[in-house]
Amino acid sequence: MVVRDVSQGQILRYEVWQGEQRLALLEGQRLEPALWRFDRWDVSDGSKREAVRTDIVTFLGRQGRQHSPELLSGDRETQAEINALIEQAGWQIDRRKVFVRRELVERPGTKPVLTLLSLAEVGREHFVAALLAASQGDPFETSTAESAEADFDALIEGAGEQFDPAGWFVARHSGEEVGVLLPQLFPDEPSVGTLFYVGVSPQFRARGLGTALHAEGLRQLQLKGAGQYKGSTDVRNGAMRRVFAANGCREIYQQWFYRFVNS
């Protein structure tokens, strides 16, 4: 048996052949240069499944040592066999994300509990500083003083044509600046919105402001015309998952990220 790499562009395609017969196909995508996902595994001859598995696992191990990509699993239940292949080849679960959804069908509230100042009003320097302050002590936020400017530029790039400096906010409560809120419509699906970031500065946490800030984010998305909200967080982020629940968001699926362990 031989494994042939017939990938083209962003499409990953590995075929297992014996003579003139193709026995198996593993297919996926390069989502980013260092983030791959496999979503199709077909074996045409069930009697040779174990031999085929051995060959594709060996091949995947070589790919891992050469490229060290992070692998994304979209659904642990439906992709159980693919996950078993990549785990056997040397990848280990590194982190998990949970995704939530809520239909935005109610009218927005009439009186927000927070005062919002937009990026357009406070300026870039002030806003980046507020964003960095809100991320301090957050184990799931990797922004630092050195990376804050580049991280902010990446957020703007992610917003694409839907970016509006009048729609990202610094939040104030009782006269004090307490956090930041970045409600954003998806560039390719403007009827659906998310919160690129919602964060409360450390000295104001554990006061219910995270729930209020997230609720205000949903309100802002409704005002922008969104009919649905989608959000996500690390599975270990219990505080954010409680905020989701408090604001009527339903957990719908998880993503698992694998890191290659070069043994």
Mind listing the pLDDT tens digit of every residue in the chain (263 residues)? 999 999 999 999 999 999 999 999 999 999 989 999 999 999 998 888 899 999 999 999 999 999 999 999 866 666 889 999 999 999 999 999 999 999 998 765 555 689 999 999 999 999 999 999 999 988 777 778 889 999 999 999 999 989 999 999 999 999 999 999 999 999 888 899 999 999 999 999 989 999 999 999 999 999 999 999 999 999 999 999 999 999 999 999 888 999 999 76
* CATH number of this structure's domain 2-89: 3.40.630.30
Q: Are 193 and 181 in contact (CB under 8 A)?
A: no
Q: Which of 176, 230, 235 is nearest to 202 (CA)?
A: 176
pLDDT reported for residue 8: 95
Compute φ and ψ for 16, nearest 5 degrees.
-105, 120
Torsion-angle region of 258 (φ positive above 0: left; ψ -120 to 50: alpha; else: beta): beta
From the candidate CATH numbers 3.20.20.10, 2.60.40.60, 3.40.630.30, 3.40.50.2000, the one assigned to the domain spanning 101-254: 3.40.630.30
Encoding tokens for residue 24? Answer: 């198996």
CATH topology match: 2-89 vs 101-254: yes
- Residue carrying the six token digits 């991280």: 151
- The domain ranges of the chain are 2-89, 101-254
Alpha-carbon gap, residue 241 to 249, rounded angstroms:
9
Q: How far is residue 49's CA from residue 54's CA, in Å, rounded to a whole number?
A: 9
Query: Which of the 8 DSSP states describes residue 109?
Result: P
